[in-house]
Structure 1
Amino acid sequence: MLLSLLVFWLMFDAWSSPAQADWRPQTGEPWPAPEAPISHHERTLESSTGRTVRAHLALFDSRRYRLAVLDLGAELAPASAWPEHMRAAGLLAAVNGGFFHADGQPLGLVIAEGTRLNRFETAKLLSGVLYGDARGIHLERRVRFQLRTGIDALVQSGPYLVEHGRAVRGLSTNDVSRRTFIATDWRRHWVLGATRDGLTLAELAEALSTPGALAPWAVERALNLDGGTSTGFLFDPGAGQAPIQVRARRPVRTLVGVRAR
């Protein structure tokens, strides 16, 4: 995604006013137990404005699983190659990662399997930093982040969607696209998710901050990853079963996933 388009998109967001919507789950499948191992969950939501959104979710506990970022190379890798990369890296679930330029260069800092790519950037879009180290998984505002040794997985992305349990104000209410995100209760529970249907950033933030809508626990903070045609999801159910996949419609530069500790 070109930086110039992202800058225009952010300027347009500032002129938009958020539309409020109530989100109701339409599927009756029960949530897994909080102490369950990593699990896949498919969710269908309907808003009070009439929008229906299907989402694929990978729920996991950061005490048992670590964050991983895979660099698929500047030539970019199509969704058909994701399962091979995922298996080779020992990932149990993955989504597409952060933003990138048309030439494949990442937008913002990326640390993939301990290797640093690009540089830390202060573009308004990149309001959050998702990273992992030996202590666990962390999600922070860019202004609070300090780069240090021991970080082996990191992506800059944005915008922030939920903070302190509330939807962030001022998010776009105009661009309806498929979305990729990560969210946490900021204790130890996390969810990697991707939607099969389009919704605005404001709607996604509202859904994430609605109790029981996209997580079985209250979301304390959440971050948007690259969405639109880059949106993709992959989950390995194990036991010789075929992966559960939402195919990205374009090649991507990075994957964000989890592996067992």
Structure 2
Amino acid sequence: MIRTLFYALVVVALATVTGNVTGDWKAAAEIDRFAISPELTYAQRTAMHANDGKQVTVHLAFFTSRAFRLEVIDLDADSRPALPGLSEAFRAAGSVAGVNGGFFHADRQPLGLMISEGQRIHRFERSRLLSGVIYSDQRGIHLVRRAQFRDHPGITALLQSGPYLVEHGQAVRGLSASDPRPRTFVATDWRGHWVLGATPTPISLADLAAVLATPGALTDWTVDRALNLDGGSSTGFFFDRGPDQSPVTITPIRRVRNLLGVRPR
């Protein structure tokens, strides 16, 4: 009896640390879909937790590294107005889709290294939060752990951010299962398929990692790795559906320092 109780407590403790197990999430609905080409697609999808019926709705911009690259759009610490129109900022940079970018300090300096149009701003930091690096260079788009990153010439866009959500197809252990809030993320199958996502539905980091790691819950391909970006009141999303249709947008509540955009090669 005591041994059984001990094992039960261990299971509960592990569930608290790791959040919902991957298989507990499943695709619920595709609310909207708009394909510009096979290389660029917007979708709004909902996933549901099988045990308690909890749902999360996510705006998704799917693209391939063969046809697109990532750009970091610096909104500048002293820019006015307080927040340029999201559509205008992305379109001015030549981006067809994007989300808000990384975290920033109280003085609006980026948290960690930021590279925009090849220009390096601030410095590389080793904060526990900044567990990942997303960047573009002449070889393509890369998402790596901070310890694996090797700085080199030719990087055109880079953001430090975190925490890491998915690694080698598995939800990262130890993520917070509390404090649900809107989230922003970037994910890839590491085979040329990428997605930028934003969820207006509040969700914990552990749940977000679990739903992303569940094959078919949000993506048509298996997520190999995913990285959290600045969320909460910074959450923003943009997808340009063309000149005859309004773009899909989520406008950040607060002024953000940078944006992460998708631009044709």
Question: TM-score under structure 2 normalisation?
Answer: 0.88
Deviations 1:78-97 (A, max 9, x none): 56522111111110001000
The unaligned stretches of length 5 or more in structure 1 are: 1-15
Aligned counterpart in structure 2 of residue 72 of structure 1, from 71, 75, 83: 75
Deviations 1:29-79 (A, max 9, x none): 69889x812110000111133321110000001000011000001146656
Per the alignment, residue 119 of structure 1 pairs with 123
Distance 1:30 1:72, change over 3 A: closer
Native 8 Å contact 2:235 2:251 kept in 1? yes
Q: Which has the higher strand share?
A: 2
How far apart are the structure 1 equivalents of 2:175 and 2:116?
29
Question: TM-score under structure 1 normalisation?
Answer: 0.89
Letter of the 1:170 partner, please give it.
G
Q: CA RMSD in A?
A: 1.8
Deviations 1:84-141 (A, max 9, x none): 1111111000100000012211100000111111000001100000000111000000
Deviations 1:214-247 (A, max 9, x none): 2110000000000111011000011321110012
How far apart are the structure 1 equivalents of 2:264 and 2:140?
12
Per the alignment, residue 252 of structure 1 pairs with 256
Letter of the 1:157 partner, please give it.
S
The unaligned stretches of length 5 or more in structure 2 are: 1-15
DSSP 3-state at the match of 2:206: helix
Letter of the 1:129 partner, please give it.
V
CA offset at residue 19 of structure 1? 2.5
DSSP 3-state at the match of 1:63: coil
How far apart are the structure 2 equivalents of 1:30 and 1:98?
27
Mapping of 1:104-183 within 5 angstroms? 104-183=108-187
* Count of aligned pairs between the two proteins: 245
Distance 1:43 1:28, change over 3 A: closer
CA offset at residue 28 of structure 1? 4.5
Aligned counterpart in structure 2 of residue 237 of structure 1, from 233, 238, 241: 241
Letter of the 2:73 partner, please give it.
L
Native 8 Å contact 1:79 1:232 kept in 2? no
CA offset at residue 190 of structure 1? 0.2
Per the alignment, residue 56 of structure 1 pairs with 59
Aligned counterpart in structure 2 of residue 102 of structure 1, from 106, 115, 130: 106
Per the alignment, residue 19 of structure 1 pairs with 19
